[in-house]
Copies of this chain bind each other. A is one copy, B any other.
Amino acid sequence: MVKTLTIDLGDRSYPIHIGAGLLTASGLIDRHIAGRQVLVVTNDVVAPLYLDPVMASITAPDKASLVLPDGEAFKTLDTVNRIFDALLERRYSRNATLVALGGGVIGDIVGFAAACYQRGIPFVQVPTTLLAQVDSSVGGKTGVNHPLGKNMIGAFHQPRAVIADTATLDTLPDRELRAGVAEVIKYGLIRDAEFFHWLETNLDRLLQRDPAALAFAIERSCRNKAEVVSADEREVGLRAILNFGHTFGHAIETGCGYGKFLHGEAVAVGMCQAADLSARLGLLPAEDVARIVRLIERAGLPTVPPAELDSERFLRLMAVDKKNVDGRIRLILLEEIGRAALPQAVPVELLKATLDEYGRTVV
């Protein structure tokens, strides 16, 4: 069974197809390839599992694949350049299509390559991790990291389609599943209290990979994301709430070296910190902070930052963030479970208090 949602962006609108087995049997990837030239880009973990059947399902006459090394550490401009090399060695034209087969890193890199090759070519997202299926493959944010800042180099470039085959989650390592659950919890926190309650009740089913629970969580997450992105494609306003917990999280990822913390793990910690700060500002009741931390803990996710990041270092890292204006740190905070506020500058003393105390007093 296929569920289809739509990202509504005028002439850049596109479908999100969600279902088990879509990757091979459905012909859906092929349907979203317009030209004769296709390059499928994946990584060395996903390739042995899914590359052959995906290649076989594509009917375009001039098709090729490129296998990149796996991991956030390779989400760099150099890796993007390898995709340009592959496209140019094959003399691919502006109507060639890129297919991103993998998790969030592959999707972000391939989407950015598609944004820049010949000033923009079509691409299709085929996410194979929970995190990519519920979050990063949807919405057209693409890009790579810089040693001084996460996702600092990139473009808005919408895919032609997102094809989320939930059967691929069968092969997903537990740690990556849990990292994806962090972004699922995020949707409940920022705009869907009912979903948060559902997660409190059904988390164990999710972690046990109950297909119905997974399918529901993916669809509900994508529906939330689709509504936000359709309302604010370029993050002029509302879209920034999708970054709840991410300013803290990005600082952890950059500060510890890309790849040590999975993105979802860093975001899990960041959501706890953002909740704590929301309480310090009098926005969120302390008991809600406790509920949030409890759910994240139950998901097997970290709730405190690594000891190596003291508050001074944290602050320096947070000074590099796309939401900042003229160098002032701006954060997404919670007004209640299910309602996030737009980015706001926060008193540095309170932020420092969260960074100093967090992990000792709250959890």
Residues on A lying within 8 angstroms of B by beta carbon are: 35-37, 62, 77, 81, 84-85, 88-89, 91-95, 115-120, 141, 143, 146, 148-149, 152-156, 319-320, 322-327
Q: Which residue of B lies closest to A142 (CB)?
A: B119
Residues of chain B with a CB closer than 8 A to A81's CB: 77
Measured between beta carbons, the chain B residues less than 8 angstroms from A323 are 94
Q: Which of A62, A85, A120, A320 has the most CB of B within 10 A?
A: A320
Pick the contact of A155 from B62, B119, B327 — CB < 8 Å?
B119
Q: A84-B153, A155-B120 are in contact. Are A324 and B146 (CB under 8 A)?
A: no
Q: What is the total number of copies of this protein in its complex? A: 2
Given contacts A119-B154, A324-B94, contact A146 B37 (CB under 8 A): no
6 contacting pairs across A/B (C-beta < 8 A) = A37-B327, A84-B153, A91-B319, A91-B327, A95-B326, A117-B152
Residues of B within 8 A of A320 (CB): 88, 91
Q: What 4 A-B pairs come out closest when comparing CB atoms?
A: A88-B148, A93-B324, A36-B326, A118-B322
Q: Which residues of B contact A319 (CB under 8 A)?
A: 91
Complex interface: chain B residues within 8 A of A91 (CB): 319-320, 327
Q: How far is the CA of A327 from the CA of B88 in the complex (A)?
A: 11
The contact of A89 among B84, B148, B155, by CB within 8 Å, is B148
Q: Which residues of chain B come closer than 8 Å to A155, judged between CB atoms?
A: 115-116, 119-120, 155
Q: Please determine whether B152 and A88 come into contact, CB atoms closer than 8 angstroms.
A: yes
Whether the pair A146, B84 counts as a contact (CB closer than 8 A) is: yes
Q: How far is the CB of A143 from chain B (nearest CB, A)?
A: 7
What's the Cα separation between A143 and B118 when bound, in Å? 9
Q: Tell me, in angstroms, the Cα distance from A268 to B37 when the chains sit together.
A: 32
